[in-house]
Amino acid sequence: MQVALLRSLLNGKLFMEWICPAVAQAYHCHISAHATTYREESDIYNDNIVREITVEGVAWNIIQKPPVQQFNSSKMFKLYNDSCCSICFQDFEDEEFVRTLPKCGHFFHLVCIDKWLVQQGSCPMCKIYVPDL
């Protein structure tokens, strides 16, 4: 028995028959858990509390309300000390359009924050819900 076990270890048979399927199954469970969205979780549990914390985007007319301005490094760095957009992680450049969320004061590239708000509905930095602004 011990000799057969030693042979199966040496030729990889034990690894292929026992270890690989277990690792593959654990990996599949891990990936499946991360692929689940908030909406799917609320459907799974069918719980009103979970539904209330589901994050959804906001309407385009609400997204358009926060002011748009051109980025000015000398002015903006003094006020906010932000050098890059926290959504795309690209540096702000002078004359680029940015949108500033009024209640929290965080600002982002115009295109980045508009796409974000369509999907999420809250400030990426502090999570304040945009319709509440």
Say yes or no to pLDDT of 35 above 60.
no
Looking at residue 132, its pLDDT comes to 61
Give the start-to-end residue ranges of the domains of the chain. Answer: 2-52, 60-132
Say yes or no to pLDDT of 119 above 60.
yes
**Does the reported pTM lie above 0.75?**
no
pLDDT classification of 121: cutoffs 50, 70, 90 = confident
Kindly report, residue by residue over 2-32, the tens digit of the pLDDT.
777 667 666 666 555 666 565 556 555 544 4
Residue 93 CA to its chain's centroid (Å): 24
Say yes or no to pLDDT of 113 above 50.
yes
Kindly report, residue by residue over 89-111, the tens digit of the pLDDT.
998 898 999 998 988 888 899 99
- Tokens coding 79: 């006020």
Listed in sequence order, the residues at least 6 apart from 101 whose beta carbon sits closer than 8 Å to its beta carbon are 66, 107, 113, 123, 128, 130, 133
pLDDT classification of 67: cutoffs 50, 70, 90 = confident
Choosing among 3.90.79.10, 3.40.50.800, 3.30.70.1400, 3.30.40.10, the CATH entry for 60-132 is 3.30.40.10
